[in-house]
Amino acid sequence: AQRVTQPEKLLSVFKGAPVELKCNYSYSGSPELFWYVQYSRQRLQLLLRHISRESIKGFTADLNKGETSFHLKKPFAQEEDSAMYYCALKARGSTLGRLYFGRGTQLTVWP
Amino acid sequence: NAGVMQNPRHLVRRRGQEARLRCSPMKGHSHVYWYRQLPEEGLKFMVYLQKENIIDESGMPKERFSAEFPKEGPSILRIQQVVRGDSAAYFCASSLEDRDETQYFGPGTRLLVL
């Protein structure tokens, strides 16, 4: 069965420090991985997806199939990065578009 | 484009009443997904609909819950005879047909059952 695990419920770092939000998944097929972010009082929005291999707001994430991980990283955290981050998985190529979400990590960046 | 709209944003019901949650997808989107988020948990898939069709309802409880996406008008998630355990945030997402599978989320409806 598909499962997404975000082991850290809360993560705090100081401004300028590197940050890594962990995401592990279990899925027997070929997954498509996403990171969604929810800023305070805003809706959930897509941050990045692994097939795009892009950097958004300084964040990157690499799919590691050997470790079944898709950790989100940023070398220098900013206060405006404080938000709730959700890792999500979709079965690639599936006509059923359902996403499987982790429980989320609340990131706080202190000044 | 106003984005995905959901209403009401907050809904309070007493046990046994019915709850109707509405979702208007982004303009041009014909795919709608409903997710439920219980406190301290991630979003859980409930149902996937295209216009006038239910494609995947495997995440929907078998009783009391139903969803529709009519040819005209918003998608509706209906919960009959609500119980306290139905208290949650319900999110709707929409996507374009064909290749763009990015799901765009609405602000959610917070349902509280007293």
Strand partners, A69: A24, A64
The pLDDT assigned to B98 comes to 53
Strand partners, B88: B111
Exposure string of A2-40, with b = 16+ CB inside 10 Å and e = fewer, is eebebeeeebebeeeeebebbbbbebeeebbbbbbbbee
The pLDDT assigned to B114 comes to 95
Of the pLDDT bands very low, low, confident and very high (cuts 50, 70, 90), residue B57 is very high
β-pairing, A31-38 vs A83-91, is antiparallel
pLDDT at A23 over 90: yes
Contact B109, B9 (CB under 8 A): yes
Find chain A residues with C-beta within 8 A of B45's C-beta. 98-100
- Residues 6+ away with beta carbon under 8 Å from A70: A23, A24, A25, A33, A35, A50, A61, A62, A63, A64, A87
Kindly determine whether residue A99 and residue B102, on different chains, have CB atoms separated by under 8 Å: no
Q: What is the mean pLDDT of residues B83-96?
A: 94
Evaluated on CA atoms B26, B32, B38, B41, the torsion sign reads negative
B103 touches chain A (CB under 8 A): yes
Find chain B residues with C-beta within 8 A of A101's C-beta. 35, 42-44
The pLDDT assigned to A52 comes to 78
Contact A100, A34 (CB under 8 A): no
* One-letter amino acid of A2: Q
Give me chain A's average pLDDT, please: 91
Which of A43, A49, A105 should be substituted to probe chain B, the one whose Cβ sees the most B Cβ atoms within 10 Å? A43
The pLDDT assigned to A62 comes to 87
A45 touches chain B (CB under 8 A): yes
pLDDT at B99 over 60: no
Give me chain B's average pLDDT, please: 92
- Residues 6+ away with beta carbon under 8 Å from B63: none
The nearest CA of chain A is from the CA of B49 a distance in Å of 10
The nearest CA of chain A is from the CA of B24 a distance in Å of 15
Q: What is the mean pLDDT of residues B14-41?
A: 93
Structure tokens at B38: 């219980």
Q: What is the mean pLDDT of residues B9-25?
A: 97
Find chain B residues with C-beta within 8 A of A49's C-beta. 102
Most confident segment among A8-12, A62-66, B48-52: A8-12
Structure tokens at B81: 């005879």
Neighbours of B59 (CB within 10 A): 16
Of the pLDDT bands very low, low, confident and very high (cuts 50, 70, 90), residue B1 is low
